[in-house]
Structure 1
Amino acid sequence: MPNFISRTLLTENWGSLQIRSWRFLIGVGVSLLLLLVLLFQVDLSEVGDALADANYWYLIPSIALYFVAVFFRAVRWRFLLSPLKVLQVSRLYPVVVIGYMANNLLPARLGELVRAYYLARREPIKASSALGTLAVERVYDGLTLLAWAAVAGPALLLLGEFDSTGGTARTTWIILAVLVVSLFVGALAFLTALATIPKFMVFFDRMLDFVPARFRPKIRELAYTFVDGLRVLSSPRKHLALFLLSMPVWAFEGTMYFLISYAFGIDDHFGSVGTLILVVMLVTATSNLATSLPSSIGGIGPFEVVAQQTLIALGIGGSLAGAYAGFLHLVALWLPVNLAGLALLWKQNLSLRGLTGSPSPDPLAGGVLATEGGGSLAPRSAGPNPESHP
């Protein structure tokens, strides 16, 4: 992990990206493989026609809606962090934006680590505790999307929109749905148990007896500070609050998908606005659940393929579906937050390397994102401390 981060994107000049890690190469490989799968299912001339005919005026309000969704992510994160420290949303918003930029540029969702470490730079919160809150955040994103799919999928089936889907494909969707539900429900149950049942940590301490003595203190501290970040899971009322706080996040992002569907004329293929809303709910759920597994870089590949296949199952042509999915992800979702993240880095006089230099004695920050020479990662040049910025 240390070599991967310090040798790839966390360099002094992030524009001179060095691809020296097998993890990075695997991420690139997964993205390229799935994009090739997508290309084999489209007619490039038809994709070009779809892009040429699209109404790009819808892009402006769509991007605005996405950043509203990011605002609600910061609101939800504030709630998750509240047992550790009550923070202003204005302090968290730039951390969320920069974290999403890093997620788009690093494989295996390592942007979550960047986000946790950057928060530890700005606030008196350990990076490992922040990482615990991000684990909860990811689980609730998954559960919210599953709820959307549970509403939209059966409704579209009853409306006859899946008539073109064969029995084998339908069975495959059902099996995948059961597996994904089991994964997220199991993860939530495990995190809740860690937060509320002391015996789990007693068992963990016993398991440390099998670890070499010199590693035990650091591992124990990492584990206990991570569990500190799970305090918000202490009651059913807080679980409900988290679920409700997740709804506006995806409502605004889903509305963005809805507007882009109008830009590509996908609304013409369905009989009513209500049906289109259900379609967008299902596409939002399936495409984002596909990127929840840490495989590719920025979700490129899994997002496009799953969004396209969902639309094909609903009767949309493969080329139009591919054009919509690619534009939605790469232009509307991926590019704006990256530009915003870079602007925030420039404003705070930081490089990607400087993001993760943590002033706190957090063993996770010091042990994982230390430079190879042992020093902490520092700002790009002398300038204002990023903690002084909102």
Structure 2
Amino acid sequence: MPLRKAPAAARPGGEPGKRLGNRLLLSLALTSTLLLVFALRLDLDNLLDELAGTNFAWVGAAVVMNLAAQYFRALRHHYLLLPARDLPTSGLTGAVIIGAAINNVLPLRGGSVARMQLIAKRFDVSRPTVAATMAAEIVLDTLIVSAFLVVGIFALHLGSLLGWIASAVLAASASLLVLAWLLSRSFRHGDAFAEQRLRFLPETTRKAVGQGLMQFELGWQAVWRARQAAPLVAASAAIWLSESVSYWFFGLAVDLDLSPLAYLTLVALANIVTSLAFTPAGLGAFELSVSELLRRLDVSSGAAGAYVLLSHGVLTLMMMAVAPVAFYLLRVRASDLLYLRRPPEDEPPLGAGRA
């Protein structure tokens, strides 16, 4: 009697593998389309002339400032995690770099998942807490960069439609911050919340959910405490100042004459586009959107193309070059990034290791 085929989900390369393959193909198609549109709008002769005149001393300075921004990201994450554990900033810097490097390869922010997994396993912090701190990072960053974008678009007269879209993003991020505050108040006593609102679940499930909610709330505590919020604000300011100076240095490398507000707007647009893009590292989306913004600022096609290719290319390659060093220094194993479950006895108790 012939053997029956196993269901697709049970076979290697079944439905999950097919879905992943389809997403990668869609990402590749989108990247190719965006890069093609970008290339068609380039003045190749002007581009080559601009690249030939690049001042690589400014490029080196831009790389240093971008690395400083990664350190400040890790420092901010250190402050966000303080209510749970006092983690070394050096280790968190390595995790930030590894996550950014993986984002350069995988679409859909796969590096953020890897960073969460690495911190949770390497430093023994619950995943809900790490996830909450990273959600706080996203909300805070979106609030900051959308504010930059709104001010820049209206002050530089870049178009009312773009300004209203940026204003909508700013309002949405502010709403998310308010929602996070309301949820944090509800989840502070997650066990009681689960008992009152989730009575339809089995008792063991309710307890697990309640514990998870309290761990999630722990990741937001530093945002609401004035004493801990101050260093968060300072670290966030240092992040965006470093990134803006890095973009300014890239502009000096290709002899652009733009205002500080223009560079803040470039940083804001680049970060929003790369965080929302379906493509690895925002490839294609970054080039097209930033070059179009530069053209609106009266930068020539060749100079705009040189700026985006140089800044995006150098920073992407820099992150890929530094990541192996972080892998080595942190002694990262494949299981640190890929193994998503751990035995219950290994899960740290709520607040274990609090500072």
Measured against the shorter chain, the TM-score band is 0.7 to 0.9
Question: Which secondary structure does the structure 2 equivalent of 1:87 belong to?
Answer: coil
Matched, 1:83 2:83: yes
Q: CA deviation at 1:344?
A: 2.3
Q: Which amino acid aligns with 2:82?
A: S
The offset of 1:200, in angstroms, is: 10
- Partner amino acid for 1:195? S
Q: What are the within-5 Å matches in structure 2 for residues 247-262 of structure 1?
A: 247-262=237-252
Is 1:53–2:40 an aligned residue pair? no
What TM-score do the two structures reach when normalised by structure 2?
Answer: 0.81
8 Å CA contact retained: 1:195, 1:230: yes
Residue type at the aligned position of 1:171? S
Deviation (angstroms), 1:266: 1.0
Deviation at 1:211, TM superposition (A): 8.0
CA distance in 2, matches of 1:306, 1:291: 10
In the other structure, the counterpart of 1:266 is 256
Residue of structure 2 in register with 1:31 after alignment:
31
1:124 aligns with 2:124: yes
Maintained 8 Å contact 1:19/1:25 = no
1:183 and 2:172 correspond: yes
What displacement does 1:347 show?
4.4
Alignment-derived partner of residue 337 in structure 2: 355
Does structure 1 conserve the Cα–Cα contact (< 8 Å) formed by 2:59 and 2:250? yes
Task: Specify the alignment match of 1:287 in structure 2.
Answer: 270
Local SS of the residue matching 1:197: helix
In the TM superposition, 1:213-228 aligns within 5 A as 222-228=212-218
Structure 1 gap segments, 5+ residues each: 8-17, 163-169, 366-390
| Aligned twin of 1:136 | 136
Counterpart Cα distance in 1 of 2:33 and 2:201: 39
Distance in structure 2 (CA, Å) of the matches to 1:119 and 1:136: 16
Question: Any conservation in 2 of the 1:124–1:360 contact (CA below 8 Å)?
Answer: no
Deviation at residue 24 of structure 1 after TM alignment: 2.6
The one-letter amino acid of 2:252's match is Y
Tell me the CA shift for residue 210 of structure 1.
7.7
- Superposed CA deviations along residues 159-214 of structure 1, whole A, max 9, x for unmatched, are xxx5xxxxxxx132122112211221122222222212349967777776788999
Match of 2:183 among 164, 170, 194: 194
How far apart are residue 114 of structure 1 and its match?
0.5
> How far apart in 2 are the matches of 1:199 and 1:181?
27
Check the 8 A contact 1:70/1:93 in 2, yes or no: yes
Written as runs of structure 1 = structure 2, the 5 A alignment for 1:368-387 is none
Structure 2 counterpart SS, 1:244: helix
Q: Secondary structure at the match of 2:279?
A: coil
What corresponds to 2:291 in structure 1? 308
Going from structure 1 to structure 2, the CA distance change for 1:116 and 1:199 (only over 3 Å counts) comes to closer
- Larger deviation: 113-122 or 236-245? 236-245
The CA RMSD measured in Å over matched residues stands at 3.2
Count of aligned residue pairs for this structure pair = 331
Indicate if the aligned counterparts of 1:121 and 1:356 stay in contact, CA closer than 8 A. Answer: no
* Residue of structure 1 equivalent to 2:306: 323
Deviates more, 1:28-37 or 1:104-113: 28-37
Structure 2 letter corresponding to 1:105: V
Tell me if the contact between 1:194 and 1:200 (Cα under 8 Å) persists in the aligned partners: no
In structure 2, the partner of 1:71 is 71
Q: What is the SS of the residue equivalent to 1:28? A: helix
Pairwise CA distance, 1:127: 2.1
Instruction: Work out the CA distance in 2 between the residues paired with 1:30 and 1:204.
Output: 43
Shift of 1:99: 1.4
Q: Secondary structure at the match of 2:264?
A: helix
SS at match of 1:298: helix
Per the alignment, residue 4 of structure 2 pairs with none
Q: Distance in 2 between matches of 1:21 and 1:212?
A: 37
State the alpha-carbon separation in 1 of the partners of residues 41 and 256 from structure 2. 18
Distance 1:359 1:198 in 2: 23
Is the 2:34–2:285 contact (alpha carbons within 8 Å) kept by the matching residues of 1? yes
The residue aligned with 1:102 is 102
Please list the CA deviations of residues 122-146 of structure 1 after superposition, one character each: whole Å capped at 9, or x if unmatched.
2120123111101111111122223
Gaps of 5+ in 2: 1-8, 348-355
Identity among equivalent pairs (%): 26
Name the CA distance, whole Å, in 2 between partners of 1:121 and 1:184: 30
d(CA) in 1 for partners of 2:86 and 2:225? 19
Per-residue deviation at 1:264?
Answer: 0.8
Aligned residue number for residue 148 of structure 2 = 148
**What is the TM-score of this pair, normalised by structure 1?**
0.74
